[in-house]
Amino acid sequence: MSPSVDETRKIVLELLAVTRRETQRALSGIDPELMVHHDGPGWRVRDVLGHLAVWNGEAAESLQAHARGEEYHCIPSAHYDQYNAAAAAERGAWPMRRVWAEYEASGDQLKTVVAAMPTERWSAEVLFPWKERGTVRRLIEIMMRHEVEHREVMPEAGG
């Protein structure tokens, strides 16, 4: 028997809370200028956090549109690198407090839209920001796995 919408919503909200808490814990105390991705132009801790914020915001936009019975996507799936590079470049000069603020706000936005998602929209397919489709739960699971994958390449704070 599959979980009810209320049970699923609770599971998804807990996943959002746990992932955010663990990211905050993992990144607190790490030098935001530390280079953690060395391919291409390279990304610092601050760039990764900004990247997570951007994509969480895009996922929230897709879910908000879905709640209204509409669709939203920001990029064709073939253009990840261009989109990510532009977003990282824009945030590269921001003060770290602004990067954290965007990360927090995008997480809050995701949580709010999940909490308010109409029951009848949970079973309907969502158009993801990169033009794939799936359930509300699946979108959140993908986004949180994405965050964990990026977090796992970070060095331990103070190490």
What are the C-alpha distances in Å from 72 to residues 18, 28, 61, 66? 26, 33, 7, 8
What's the mean pLDDT in 55-78?
A: 89
Q: Are 148 and 19 contacting, i.e. CB atoms less than 8 angstroms apart?
A: yes
What's the mean pLDDT in 115-137?
A: 93
Q: How is the chain split into domains, by residue range?
A: 5-152
Q: How confident is the model at residue 67 (pLDDT cuts 50, 70, 90)?
A: very high
pTM of the shown model? 0.90
Alpha helix stretches (DSSP H) within the chain? 5-27, 45-67, 80-91, 96-116, 136-152
- Is pLDDT of 159 > 50? no
Q: Per-residue pLDDT tens for 69-117?
A: 999 887 766 677 788 888 888 888 899 999 999 999 999 999 999 999 9
Q: Are 75 and 129 contacting, i.e. CB atoms less than 8 angstroms apart?
A: yes
Topology (CATH) of 5-152 = Four Helix Bundle (Hemerythrin (Met), subunit A) (1.20.120)
**Nearest by Cα to 62 from 1, 145, 121:** 121
In the predicted model, what is the mean pLDDT of the chain? 89
Bridge partners for 133 per DSSP:
127
What are the C-alpha distances in Å from 35 to residues 26, 53, 68? 15, 18, 40
